[in-house]
Amino acid sequence: MQKRLITFVKYAFFLGLGIFLVWWSIHKMSDKDYNEFVNALKTANYYLLIPVFFILTASHISRAFRWKILMNSMGYNPKLINTFCAVMVGYLANFAFPRLGEVLKCTILGKYEKVPPDKLVGTILVERAVDLLSFFIIIIISLLTQAKVVGSYAKGALDKYILSQSIGVALIKIAVGIAIILAAFFLLKYIFKKYLHIKLVQQIKNIFIGIKAGLLSVRNLKNKWVFIFHSVFIWACYLGGTYIGFLAIKETSVLPILAAFPVLVFGTVATMITAGGIGLYPVFLMEAMKLYDVHEGFGNANGWLQWSAQFFITLVIGFTCLIILPYINKSKNEIGTSDTP
């Protein structure tokens, strides 16, 4: 009962935060910006959301292929349809509570494909590391290609959040962080050696062993270039979907294609902060577009349009996958039984 209450409180908090950000982003607009916001949504070209739907769906399929490659390196060969459904149900769960989807993905494949969830956690960490590297590359490209636009913004943020602190304070924080990590490592090592006869300790150790196996899976990749291709393709789809999203509203259609890089950076940060970027994604996209002199009302409208498209895709495909998973696993002649990327 207490566990359910805590889960409910967490869900209510993040949902409430999202609703507050929705209210705040609209309420703070001036009358002029609000009228621009409404008119932009009324005159938007919603047909352009169709190619966005297919582009973002392709990125999700590619993500399923990439995850499957990691599992292949550990000797598991899950069906592509089950892997894709797990990815989409995971995305759907993330709208309810941040990172819940990562756990649910592992649970689903553990149930339908008999892949140990603890080993899947390791593959998730590998994916997140690759995504983080890709994200940094997008940031670098943004700074190199859009230096005149985002350079001053980046310099201001750097001065405010990093350079404003003394080097000594920064070094102390880094040293404390390293010390905590080392202390935790040696403490766990001692516990595993001294109390391994306790069942709970054995279970925790097995989890770490599984995570280690998942992380080392990248070393045994048989299709490294295919893995790299999918990693590039996923982010190329994100960029393509963002740029096509610009074209849906007249006032943002004039943005150059390279503007998709910094706008994607802002949008990605928003999804890291709130569940599915709810409430914050449109605000961050609007702030990025303001760097290109797009009025707040138009930028906000485009941000809401792009977030709504992503939410709709996740909602429709995620719920569809949730419903069909039990049925497609009853059939012996399921399509994609021996899929190999």
The pLDDT tens digits for 217-251 are 666 677 888 998 999 999 999 999 999 999 998 88
Q: What value does the mean pLDDT take over residues 96-113?
A: 82
Nearest alpha carbon to residue 263 among 244, 280, 287, 240: 287
Is the model's pLDDT at 262 over the cut of 60? yes
105-114, 136-145, 275-284: the lowest-pLDDT one: 275-284
Q: Is there a domain that residue 13 lies in? A: no
Number of folded domains that form the chain: 1
- Tell which phi-psi region holds residue 98, choosing left (phi > 0), alpha (psi between -120 and 50) or beta: beta
For residue 143, give its domain range.
33-328
pLDDT score of 330: 80
Residue 53 in tokens: 């739907």
Q: Is there a domain that residue 18 lies in? A: no
Q: Is there a domain that residue 28 lies in? A: no
Q: Is there a domain that residue 319 lies in? A: yes
Q: Is there a domain that residue 11 lies in? A: no
Residue 190 in tokens: 């001692």
The pLDDT > 90 percentage for the chain reads 18
Q: Is there a domain that residue 324 lies in? A: yes
pLDDT score of 34: 55
For the chain, the helix, strand and coil percentages under 3-state DSSP, each to the nearest 5: 85, 0, 15
What's CA 196's distance to the chain center, in Å? Answer: 36
pLDDT bucket at 338, cuts 50 / 70 / 90: very low
Inter-residue contact 43 to 314 (CB < 8 Å): no
Q: Give me the chain's average pLDDT, please.
A: 77
Q: How far apart (Å, rounded) are the C-alpha atoms in residues 45 and 53?
A: 14
Residue 243 in tokens: 């740029």
Q: Is there a domain that residue 98 lies in? A: yes
Q: Is there a domain that residue 339 lies in? A: no
What's the pTM?
0.74
160-215 pLDDT, tens per residue? 444 445 555 556 666 776 777 778 777 877 777 777 777 777 767 666 665 566 55
Residue 227 in tokens: 């893995």
